[in-house]
Every structure is written in C-alpha cells, then in structure tokens.
Amino acid sequence: MIRLVRSASDYRGDGEVSGPATVQGGGSVREKTLGVVDIGSNTVHLLVARTNGRSITPLLDMSEGLMLGGHVDYDGTLSPDKLDELLSTLGTYQSAAAEMGVTDLHLLATHAIRTAVNKDAVSKAIEDTLGLQIDILSTEEEAEYSFLGADAACPSVGPQVVVDIGGGSMQVSVGENGQVWDSVSLPLGGARVATRFLPSDPPTYLEEALLVTYLAKTLPDALPLRDTNASGVLGVGGTLRRAPVLLGTDLVPGASYHQADLEKMLAAVRGKRTEEIAAEYALKPERARLLMAALILVREVLRGYDFPPLIISAYGLREGAIMSLARKGA
C-alpha cells in the first residue's frame, strides 16, 4: 500500500488517524526530511517525514505485508524466497524515498530479523544489493522509539504505559514525557499468539479461555513497574489502530477506551470467521485474523495496571525513530 501524504491532516499512521505530533521536552534541530523502514514481523513499512526533533510532518507512507515472522518462526531462518521479497520491497522504498529527497534511508529491524538464525546473512545481502545498512534494534531501543512516537501523538499528563503489539512480540514500557523508565519485551505478538493459542477460524471459546488463563498466570509478574499510578495506557500497532471500527467509529485522536469498550470489540469478532470480519469492517484478512489476539493482549495489560483508560495512538516506532534520529543529527 502506498500513501502520499499531501498534508499533516492527510496522515493516518497506517491509515487510521490524522494530525501532526509534537514531542514534549528535548532539544530541537533544523527541520530536515528523514526516512525510516520498519522491518516488522507482519509488515515492512516506509515512512518519510519532515521533523525538527520535536514535531513531525509525514510525507510518504508505504507498506507491504511480507509476514516475515511466520517464516522465521517455522525454522528459525528467513528463507531465500522471503529474502528476495524483502530485497525487492526495500529497493522500491529506496527509490521512493530518494524521490522525496532522502539521501540516507534508515532500516530498522525488530523481532523477526532479531531472532533469525541467519540475520547476519540477511544484513549482508541487504548491504551488498542495496548499499544500505540495517540496524537490528534491541528490545530496549524498540521500546524507546515506540514510547517516543506514542507520547508525541498523546502527550502525557502523568506517568503512562505504552503497549506496542507487533506480529512477533509485545513491548510494554512505562515512563513520562517521552522518557522510558522501564520496559519489557515479551514473545506475545498478535500473529504469534493467534497461531499458538487461537488456531481455529473462528477461535473457539475454549481456545480463548486457555489464552486468558495463560496470560493471567504469566503476564502480571512480567509487566514493568506495576505499582505505577498510570494516567493511561497508549496502544500502538497496526492491528490496534483498526480496532475502533468494531464500535462503528474511526479512531479519534485522544479518544479513551475502557474495559467495557474492549468487551464490545471482542463481542463484535467472537464467533466470526476471518473473512466475515474482513468483509463487515473493510479490513485486510491478515489484520482481521489478529484482532481477537490483540484485543485480549491489551485488555490483560490494562488489567495489570488496574484498568486506566486506553488511548490508541496513530504514532509509534517509525515516528519515534525519525524524531530520535533528527535529535542525534542523522
């Protein structure tokens, strides 16, 4: 999918919510145009934007659902065919970014490449073919960028939790004003959870119950700084951004969702096949398939912090990375 952003109000951060973002605190630099590619477990996503390190104006938004995580999970390696798909996609992005004035495209890889046995060979193939270096983010860096981006879209009025649900992993971080105090990365991405715990289509009540039981036993002790009096939980990720359509609305910047809203969202997908959900709510099947898993995950994170309001952010890792790179003089 290609999205040329003609103005800040056009941008919907994966097609969902509009508006520029401003980061609180930190220094600013002269405005420049930067581009990052987020190589995720589900989607490979390009964002080109102008930024001064405090605010961001998106210019170009492109994404391709390569589903790298499922292939890495299968045998621990990225296959030659998938590598070829990745190289082709990155080549397209490199050309598109260059047309927008980006001279140094930054490639950021998360869980799928980070856990691939042949990640060094993948990095070398990208450098040899495209002349680009890939930055395989640590879990701490991934959490930092996601927190910065989410906090930019929804500036904190106190300590807040950011939960970024990707395809292969889930990052949970706690902090304030763009600064992370503590974070954790858990192997609980939407695609991984759906495949392991909710294999039926539609998932059965027993599968859902087993997932909830597993999370109740394992998640609370894994969450960072659980005693934080969080003003809210910011939800990040392409699947979560699409969840408000289950309530019959688009995602509204700053809108709060509560436990009752999450139960209504779950009720809207429960007992329905993927193709039914996709058709009813105009979603891609690969997103529709992950909705139940993502909603259950974010609900249980909310439970761990005594159910503060949930705000779903249009901005996340890519936006945070661009602003961070600007501050570092990239």
- Listed range (13-22, 29-38, 178-187, 302-311) with the worst mean pLDDT: 13-22
pLDDT at position 1: 52
Average pLDDT of span 103-131 = 95
Average pLDDT of span 102-122 = 94
Q: Are 222 and 169 in contact (CB under 8 A)?
A: no
Predicted TM-score (pTM) of the model is 0.86
Average pLDDT of span 249-267 = 93
For residue 278, pLDDT beyond 90: yes
- pLDDT class of 67 with cuts at 50, 70, 90: confident
* 3-state SS, residue 114: helix
Separation CA 40–CA 58 (nearest Å): 19
Amino acid symbol at 284: K
- Listed range (86-90, 272-276, 326-330) with the worst mean pLDDT: 326-330
pLDDT at position 29: 57
Amino acid symbol at 104: D
pLDDT at position 2: 52
Q: Which has more pLDDT, 143 or 24?
A: 143
Contacts of 245 (CB under 8 A, 6+ apart): 281, 282, 283
List helix spans (H) across the chain: 68-75, 80-99, 111-115, 119-130, 139-153, 190-197, 205-222, 238-242, 259-269, 274-281, 285-288, 291-304, 317-327
pLDDT at position 26: 45
- Listed range (48-62, 101-115, 295-309) with the worst mean pLDDT: 48-62
pLDDT at position 160: 94
Average pLDDT of span 286-296 = 96
For residue 318, pLDDT beyond 50: yes
For strands 55-64 and 2-4, give the pairing: antiparallel
Percent of the chain with pLDDT over 70: 91
Look at the block and give the residue holding tokens 């934080």.
228
pLDDT at position 14: 56
